[in-house]
Amino acid sequence: MHTLAVLLIGYALLSVPVIALTHFRPRNYPEQGGSRLAGLVVLGALFALQVCHLLYLEFGYAAVDSVVYRMLLFAVAPAFYLFSRPLLRATEGSRLTDVLHIAPVIGAPWLPFAWALPLAFLLGAGYLLWLARTVHALAAERARFRLELAMLGAVFTIAIAVAVLGVGFPLLEREAFFALYAAAIGGAFLLVNVVLGLAPALSGEVAEVARERYAVSTLGQVDCPAVLARLEQLMREEQLYQHSDLGLPGLAERLELSAHQLSELLNTRLGKSLSRYLREVRVEAARHLLMADPRASVLSVGLSVGFGSQSAFYEAFREITGMTPAKYRGTQAPPPGLTMPD
C-alpha cells in the first residue's frame, strides 16, 4: 500500500499544474471568476496535502502533525463548495455568508489533532451530501452527461470512503490511514483527468444546464432570429471558426450579447453548447476542404479550420461523421447538402 500511495501522490502532484494551466483558464469560466479562483484554491490545498503525505510516508517528517496540515484539511471541502455552487446553481458573485465557510479553517489550529481529522471529514461529508443532491437534480436534464456523471459518481464514492476513513482514524494504524488517504486523493485525480479528457468543456456545459433549470431567461429583450442570422454570417463570411482561441466571451461581444445570453441562445434555440456548435461548423468546413484540395494534408486542413491539434481534429471529425478525415476523403464524393463556401 505504501508504494501505491507514493505513486499516486506523484501522479496527483503532476496533475495539479496540468489541470490548473489547461482547465482553469479564464476562457473556460466566463463571468465565473470566483468559481475559478475557488477551484484553484482546491487544487492548491490538495497539492499541499499530498506534499505533507509524501514527506511523512517517504521521508518520515511529521508534516501531517502540523497546524498547516489541519488547516488544509478544513479548507478543501468549503473551497470545493464555493467552486461548484456557481456552476451547479446558476449563481454569480459571492455572498456575505460565504465568510462562514472559512471559519473552520481559522479554528483548525486550536483543535486537538485527534479531533481535527474526524471533524474535518464529517464537515466534508456534509458538503458532499449537498453536492450529490445538486448534481442529481441536474442529471435528468441532459442525457449526454451520463458517462461524465458516472465518472463523477466514482469520485463521490471515493470521497465518501475517505469520510468514513477519517471518522474511523482512531481505530486505524497511523501510517496505513495516511497511505489510504493519499491514495484516495491520487485516485480522485485520475478520475477527474479522465472526465476532463472526455469532456474538456464540462464546467461550461454544466453551468449552461444549471442556468436553464434555475435561472430566469436572459433573452427577454434579444431579437433571437436576428442574432442567429448574425452568428451564421460571422461563421460563413468572416469565418471566425478559424480562430482556435474563439470562446464564449469574444463571440458574445461580436454579437453584442453577454456570455450568459449567448450560452442560453445556443442551448435553447440550437440545442447545443458553443463548443459543440464550433466543432460542427469546423468539421463542416473541413469536409469541404478535404474534397476541394486533395493535395492538402489532413493536419493542415484541421489547423486551418480552427482545431488546435491533430488529435482534437480527428476526435471531432470521427464523432460527427463517423469516420476519420482520411477515410472521408477516400469516398471521393462531396456530402449531400454541403454548403460551406470556397
Give residue for cell 450560452: 263
User: What's the rounded Cα separation, in Å, for the pair 28 and 64?
Assistant: 34
User: What's the rounded Cα separation, in Å, for the pair 28 and 247?
Assistant: 8
Q: What are the helix and strand counts (H, E) for the chain?
A: 15, 0
Cell numbers representing residue 295 in the block: 493535395
pLDDT of residue 340: 44
Binned average pLDDT, 10 residues per bin, the chain of 342 residues: 90 94 79 83 94 93 91 90 77 68 88 81 80 68 56 63 63 82 88 76 66 62 88 91 86 86 83 88 92 87 90 88 86 50 40
Q: Report yes or no: 263 and 286 within 8 Å, Cβ to Cβ.
A: no
User: What is the pTM (predicted TM-score) of this model?
Assistant: 0.64
Walk me through the domains of the chain, giving residue ranges and CATH numbers: 2-210 (1.20.1070), 216-330 (1.10.10.60)
Q: Report yes or no: 87 and 39 within 8 Å, Cβ to Cβ.
A: no
User: What's the rounded Cα separation, in Å, for the pair 72 and 92?
Assistant: 26
Q: What single-letter amino acid sits at 169? A: F
Give the DSSP H or E segment for 294.
none
- Reading phi first (left if > 0) and then psi (alpha if -120 to 50, else beta), residue 337 is in left
Q: Report yes or no: 90 and 43 within 8 Å, Cβ to Cβ.
A: no
Burial of 260 (0-12, 13-18, 19+ CB in 10 A): buried
> For residue 270, what are the contacts with CB-CB under 8 A and spacing of at least 6?
228, 277
Cell numbers representing residue 64 in the block: 501531517
Q: What is the number of alpha carbons within 13 Å of residue 88 lying toward its C-beta? A: 16
Helices marked H in 140-223 — which ranges? Answer: 146-167, 174-198, 202-214
Q: Report yes or no: 40 and 60 within 8 Å, Cβ to Cβ.
A: no
Q: Report yes or no: 80 and 125 within 8 Å, Cβ to Cβ.
A: no
pLDDT of residue 201: 65
pLDDT of residue 71: 93
> For residue 289, what are the contacts with CB-CB under 8 A and spacing of at least 6?
296, 301, 304, 305
